[in-house]
Amino acid sequence: MNSPGVALADALSGQRDLLLTCVHCGLCLPACPTYVRLHDENDSPRGRLYLMRAVVEGRIDPAAEAFQTHIDRCLGCRACEPVCPAGVEYGTLLEHARAVAVTARPRPWFIRTLLGVFQRPGRTRTVMRLSRWLRASGLAGLGAWVFPRRWHTLRMGLAMLSASGGGKLRRLGRRRRAALPEAPVGPPDAYSALLDTDEEDELRPARVGLLSGCVQAGLFERVNDATGRVLKANGFAAVTPSAQGCCGALHGHAGDLEGARALARVNIAAFEGADVETVVVNAAGCGAAMKGYAQLLADDAEFATRAAAMTEKIVDISEILVRYGMRQGASVPARVTYDAPCHLLHAQGVAEAPLEMLRSIPQLELVELNGSAECCGGAGLYGITQGELGGAIGSDKVDAILETKAEAVATGNPGCMMHIGAWLRFRGARIETIHPVELVDESYRRGGLY
């Protein structure tokens, strides 16, 4: 099958060694949300890797419908990585496969437009301003409500936008609060005690950088604000260099590796300029992408070492708080459940920190979510581009959430918050979708820490 497509496979050919680490054992099959629903091995990690290998070996053309469909249908959730005994670096391979796939067949216009928007901070700001207006005016919510299902892209986009609006944090746990004795706020000297007992103290950074993000800054400013306040309350001065931009995660996942690299360079330079040893990220997708900068720019003569240094600096907000110990706020006696973002749990391997962070809140009742480790179907733009499957996965997630009878579901990634929020709305459920750090912030606020 000697077609022009074979030449396009170069991006993957460079990854031949990585591809060959797959021993075809099949242990990853049950971990894959698309395989367990579609039952076709081409929709399993092993099957997708095999398709990639077939492209590299010139057995199939990357423009082939099957290659395009199955690579597109991957959530990029990386649930296949921690279960793989051979340690196949699936996430990296997927990005390269996407790069090959899009060269062979360009993406739809709205994806290209969206990626173009996030490439430039100016354009991002304009679009975000418009989005906030749509959200605030209630038009987004209305649109999601009135548009027919077959206009999926638009309907889902608006529902997600509307769901980004934020939860009613102040009301959380109000009903039960009356019945419970007020828990004592952590003693006023708890913070200084924390400072001089912890053996990690010497390493404790006084100043940290904070990634504002594109969607996070545009639609979730309240989460960034909460992050800043919580960091400050715990003794970290957060700086947000203005030269930073979008982290490039969306570009990487969509196969626009050059776009992702350009953004990575901008951020590396921006945070080098801020002179910080730690960069805090509160969006799982961005954290995973930035921890991947070393890999992304490994072949860039000028940036390889700088990217590796940057990767070392990245921590999730939950990691930094738990690592150095955190102050205690007032009680928030709400029933809350936690959904693990794939890019925190599978891609970064951060499992316990967010839970510990939530457990530190007095009287917060944390109920386990069935299938918390499974993707919610949001997966960047997946919920929009792969409506049917994304919807099925999102709907299962909502079923599990409803089962917990929680008042709120906490998850540390804007994409997940919006996707879960949208599906909760479609189902008419009155459950708040919030970032875990917002709960800590609320607990501090109630405790009068600021």
12 CB burial (10 A radius; 0-12, 13-18, 19+): buried
Q: Is residue 165 a contact point for ligand SF4 (CB under 6 A)?
A: no
Structure tokens at 258: 């050059």
By CB under 6 A, what part of segment 46-65 binds ligand SF4? 46, 48-49
Closest CA to 441 of 360, 377, 338, 323: 360
Stretch that binds ligand SF4, among 82-90, 211-219, 229-237, 432-440 (CB under 6 A): 82-90
| Helix ranges (DSSP H) in 325-433 | 342-345, 353-359, 382-385, 387-404, 414-426
280-289 burial, b if ≥16 CB within 10 A, otherwise e? bbbbbbbbbb
Please state, in angstroms and rounded to a whole number, the distance separating the CA atoms of residues 366 and 409: 10
Distance CA 367, CA 392 (A): 23
Rounded Cα gap, residues 240 and 217, in angstroms: 11
Q: How far is the CB of 257 from another protein (least distance, A)?
A: 24
- Does 142 contact another protein by CB under 8 A? no
Q: x/- contact string, 378-397, with ligand SF4 (CB under 6 A)?
A: --------------------
Shortest distance, CB of residue 369 to another protein, whole angstroms?
17
Under the binding rule (CB under 6 A), the answer on residue 421 touching ligand SF4 is no
Tell whether residue 14 is a contact of another protein (CB under 8 A): no
Q: Is 34 one of the binding residues for ligand SF4 (CB under 6 A)?
A: yes
Q: Which is nearer to ligand SF4, 24 or 430 (CB)?
A: 24
For ligand SF4, the binding residue among 51, 88, 114, 314 (CB under 6 A) is 88
Our measurement of the distance from residue 78's CA atom to the centroid of its chain's CA atoms, rounded to an integer in Å, reads 12
* 8 Å CB contact between 62 and 104: yes
Which of residues 9, 11, 54, 80 is near ligand SF4 by CB under 6 A?
80
CB of 323 to another protein, least distance (A): 21
**Is 348 a binder of ligand SF4 (CB under 6 A)?**
no
Report how far apart the first and last C-alpha atoms of the chain are (Å, whole number): 67
417 binds, among another protein, ligand SF4, none (CB under 5 to 8 A by kind): none
Secondary structure letter of residue 184 according to DSSP: P
CB of 141 to another protein, least distance (A): 34
Closest CB to ligand SF4 among residues 135, 343: 343
Size of site (CB under 6 A) for ligand SF4: 26
Distances (CA, A) of 318 to 314, 347, 440: 12, 15, 10
Contacting range for ligand SF4; rule: CB under 6 A; set: 85-93, 225-233, 313-321, 364-372: 85-93
Is 76 a binder of ligand SF4 (CB under 6 A)?
A: yes
Q: Render 111-134 in DSSP notation, one character per residue.
A: HHHHHHHHHSHHHHHHHHHHHHHH
| Interacting residue with another protein among 83, 195, 262, 308 (CB under 8 A) | 83
Interface with ligand SF4 (CB under 6 A): 22-28, 31-34, 45-46, 48-49, 74-80, 84, 86, 88, 90
Binding region for another protein (CB under 8 A): 20-30, 35, 39-42, 44, 46-47, 50-51, 54, 59-60, 64-67, 83-88
